[in-house]
Structure 1
């Protein structure tokens, strides 16, 4: 009987060892799965961090371009302030440019109208000046109907008159 007990104990031991080996194999497989998931998560994290760095670089570049655009709008607007340019919103660049270009179109049309009016006034004044010149240069009629030519005084005769 002792042999049977030893065989039974040995069979039980073998069975326990086999069960422990299966449990260890399962644990090792699960650990490998966890390590694979961890490695995949680390890879995804690295990709995400790289994307984050790229996004930060993109944001910094966009901020730089936005700053340049604001500076450009200010640079375009500032010399026009003395011409009564309307204030513009430099934080909303599109609206600011729209405001500035709208003001410029209106101001240009007003100035064209003013320039046209002034050109017409100048032409009328120049015509009046021509008429007056012609009258002052044209011969004058004498009381008896003759034509008297205008005389120019010589500097010599003018000197004698002043004395």
Structure 2
């Protein structure tokens, strides 16, 4: 793992060194330039960005098209994910009990240890059986959706340098 990490670091270093060689050669050749000359040289003589020669632009374009096509569905799923309502019964203190039903009364009648006080007006419980409702997002469709989003993010991370170079080039071309 460490050897692989060092190899990637060395590859990155060599790539940046080759890019900086071009810039250093430009600085040696043109030590003093005006803005107009610099602009001319940037367009004609100097490379300010580079893209790997074996990069598959068609595959990236096709993938981006598929992602853009699925964007409305992604937005809809993010705004309203599928939720399953799970209900469980639990014995809670009276202050926390929200839902009482017939099962609550039957449970209290069978479990006297949860009675706090008995008066002529009635029974004062200490704990009650109550139904708890919880939203569950971990259904199969949501898991698949999360995997899809993870794949998109990993694609972006993998192609981040190329995408940054393309955006940089696009901004320069728009500026010029």
Q: Identify the TM-score tier after normalising by the shorter chain.
A: under 0.3
Structure with larger Rg: 1
TM-score (norm 2): 0.20
More strand by share: 2
Q: TM-score, normalised by structure 1?
A: 0.21
